[in-house]
Structure 1
Amino acid sequence: MNTLTYIKELQERIAYHNDMKAYESLYKLLFPSLFRFSYSFTKNYQAAEEVVSDTFIKVWEMASQLHKIENLKAYLFTLTKNYSINQVTRSDKQVEYTIDSFAFDASITWRHPEDIFISGESVRRINQAINSLPPQCRIIFQLVKIEGLSYQETADVLELSLPTVRNQISIGIKKLLNSLPALQLTSPIFRDKN
């Protein structure tokens, strides 16, 4: 079962049965990604944990309405972004933030069996190359290529235009191919599914 199908199953179990085990499974599955995303805004581990906890509290509070959400993963990234920005602006009311102000730390985990053939050194080099991308490009790249959101979902989460997302993915892939030419055929991040 793929991740999106599993999330949909958990979502339905929570929505229709108030299934606490499904809720815990959803939390364990998505916490690492949402935490890294929140941390890119807050730059504080405790604040990022609090944001993700608030996100999941909101999920539980609206459990009976969850069945109406088409893509729960994209919805959770949107909630996490909004809560993270609120957290940052509460602590520093004088600063205006844009997406370029934040840095999403890339941490690739491979989901496909053939991906395990990529060496640890290659993964380190890919992560390093992703982290060297400009902030907006890096966040978009992470959401699309690592977290599996579509271009449109990423545009919606980040409140950007679809052409901006497409352009940033193109820029990211070109920069990564230039810095990692030997990996271009073996790495799943260079495959375009959108």
Structure 2
Amino acid sequence: MCTQRRQTLVIDRVADQPVQLFDYEIASTKTNHQTGLDRSLFNFTRGKRTREMGQGKSREAEDGQKKQQEFVAEVNRVSVERQIQLQNQMRQRIMAMQVARARELFYWLGAFYGVASLGMFAGFRRTRKPGVLVPLLPLTFVVAYHADMAYGNKLHRIRMEAENILQFEEEILDLPCGLPTTSSLDLARLHDEEEKRFHPHSPPL
């Protein structure tokens, strides 16, 4: 009887052991599956953060490049405006010198015109010949021209005429044969080199 009971207990233990092993395998499988899910979620999160960081850096680089381009464009614009202002101020100084020279010349022409007029009127008074007053006519036109240039609105009329030419008669400003090109310059340079090669200049004595 005792032997039969022991065999029965052994059989029961052996029969219960696979169930426990199967439950352990199921639990370990669930644990491994959960661990795999956690790792996948971690890798996905890390990859997402990495992509977000990469996108942030690329955006910062694009913004920096855009700001750099805007800065360079602003510097170029300011440089061009300064060059325009420099040329305009130089032109104004040159025009001021020309107007001042015209006024100085007008002073001398006016003085000469006054003295010559007095002399011609005195000669006409003595001789009563109208031919003595003939040089007074061209001198009057010359003095009037310089007076208009120095103190009149002649420069304004010249500027208005120049604007009309630029707007309506631009074709008369074209250079003969058009603008020079790099090919024409190179051709002329090669021609000069050939001329120097075949017809060298005589050495100076």
Give the TM-score normalised by structure 1. Answer: 0.20
Structure label with greater radius of gyration? 2
Which protein, 1 or 2, shows the higher relative CO under an 8 Å CA cutoff with sep ≥ 6?
1
* TM-score (ref. length: structure 2): 0.19
